[in-house]
Amino acid sequence: MKRIPPLVAAIFLSFTALAQYADMRVGLLRDSPTRHIMVMGDGGPLTVWVDGKQVAELAVSDGLVLKYTESGIHANSLKLDLTARKSMTFRSPAGRGFRLRNMSPKTRERSYPGSLHVSTAGGNFLMVATVPLEEYVAGVVQAEAGKGHWLEYYKLQSVSCRTYALANKRRHAGDGFEVCDGTHCQVFQGRNQQDSIRQAVALTRDLVVVDSHIQLIHATFHSNCGGETTNAEDVWSKSEPYLVSTIDTFCLREPHAVWQQSVPRTKWLNYLHKEYGVNTDDSNVVASVTEHVPECRELFLANISPEVSLIRLRRDFHLRSAYFSVHPEGDMVVLTGKGFGHGVGLCQEGAMHMARNGYTYTDILHHYFTNVHLVKLQNLDFFRDDGL
C-alpha cells in the first residue's frame, strides 16, 4: 500500500477532528411528543427535501404544516402539497435557520440555527436539528443561565456547556440524535438573542475543560454550597479527581446561603428509630440527634451509632441541603442549614459573586474544579488517542 506522507496525514486528521466537533444533532421538543407541527424559514427561504431528494422551496413568508399519517408525513402550505414516506429535511441556503412550532399541543414558535430533519418514530414525529456547535452552546447558555449576568459568568457557562455537550454526544445514541433539548441533557430553546452571551461564546470559542488525563470533565454544578463543596464520592459513590471538597466563602451572603425548616420532634425521632434503629429510649442519644452543630460538612448525623446518612435525610425530609444543624424547640426540632443543592462541583451563586467582583472565568473554574485545564477542542486528539 502506498505510504501517506506525514504532512498530508496530519492535515487529513485535523480536518476529521474538526468535522467531528462541528455540529450537534439535537432532538427537539422531546418533552411534548407531537404529530402536528409548522415549519417556516427564519428570514430566508428553505429548501425542502422529501425522502432524501430536493423537491421544493418554501418561501420566506410561507409556513408548511406537517401532519403525521399512517403512511408517512403529509405537508401543506399556501403553495406546497407534499407527501413523504419516511422523512422531510429543511435547509436554509443562506444559513439563516428555521422556525418551528408545535401545533398540538400548541407551543410558542421558536427560531433555530441550522437545519431540520423530520421523520416518524414510535407514533410521533422525530425532529432533529443539526446545529453548529457554537450556536448550540449560545442557545444553551441563554436557556440555562438566563439574563443579567456578568460577561465572565457567561464565559464560564460557555466552556461548561460546550464541555458537557461534547462529553455527552453518545447520550441518545439509540434515539437518532446526540442530545435532547430538555433538562435531561441541556435545555435548548433555539437561537440565542443576547449580545453578551454571543460575545462570551465567541471569546471562549472551541475551549473545553479537561482533567489531568485530558478527559472532558463532568462540569457538575449546584445552586449554593453553603461555604464548602462536597466530594463527588460522598454523593454519588464515584470519585473524580477534579470534584474535590473545597472551602468557598464567595457564596456566604448570596440568596440561597441559609435555610431553616422545622420538623415535629416525634416525626424526627420515629424516623431515626424506624429507618436506622437509633435508640430513642436513650436520653443521651436523643440529646445528640436533636441538638447538634456540625463544624464542617459532615456525612453522618451527630456522630452517633448507627450512622445516619445526611444525604438520605436531605432526600427524605426534602431539605435544601445535607449541611445543617439541629436544635430542639418545644415539640419541634429546627433544622438550620447552609446552601442549596448537592454541593458537588461549581457553586453557581459563588461563581456569580466572583464574576461580579472581578475574577476571570478561569479563576472561577480553578476555584471549583481541581487540576483542570482549558484546551482547544481541536487539540484534544494531540494529547490522547482514544477519541471522544
Give the binding site for Zn ion (CB under 5 A).
180, 184-185, 225, 248, 251, 347, 350
Q: Which residues pair with 65 in a beta bridge?
A: 38, 76
| C-beta of 97 vs 350, nearer to Zn ion | 350
| C-beta of 169 vs 265, nearer to Zn ion | 169
Distance in Å, CB of 168 to Zn ion, minimum: 8
Distance in Å, CB of 256 to Zn ion, minimum: 9
| C-beta of 92 vs 130, nearer to Zn ion | 130
Relative to beta strand 221-222, strand 346-347 is: parallel
262: three-class secondary structure by DSSP: strand
Distance in Å, CB of 145 to Zn ion, minimum: 17
| C-beta of 38 vs 187, nearer to Zn ion | 187
Distance in Å, CB of 209 to Zn ion, minimum: 19
CA dist list (Å): 6 to 10, 12, 13, 194, 375: 6, 10, 10, 44, 24
| C-beta of 333 vs 344, nearer to Zn ion | 344
Count Cβ atoms below 10 Å from residue 280 Cβ, excluding itself: 17
Please answer whether residues 278 and 289 qualify as being in contact, where contact means their C-beta atoms are separated by less than 8 angstroms: yes
Distance in Å, CB of 340 to Zn ion, minimum: 10
Distance in Å, CB of 339 to Zn ion, minimum: 7
Distance in Å, CB of 273 to Zn ion, minimum: 34
| C-beta of 46 vs 347, nearer to Zn ion | 347
CA dist list (Å): 158 to 200, 278, 350, 383: 7, 47, 17, 22
| C-beta of 190 vs 350, nearer to Zn ion | 350
**Strands, DSSP E only, in 184-284?**
207-210, 221-222, 258-264
CA angle at 250 for the pair 257 and 341, rounded to the nearest 5°: 40
Q: Which residues pair with 259 in a beta bridge?
A: 337
Among 105, 81, 82, 109, which Cα is nearest to 97's?
109
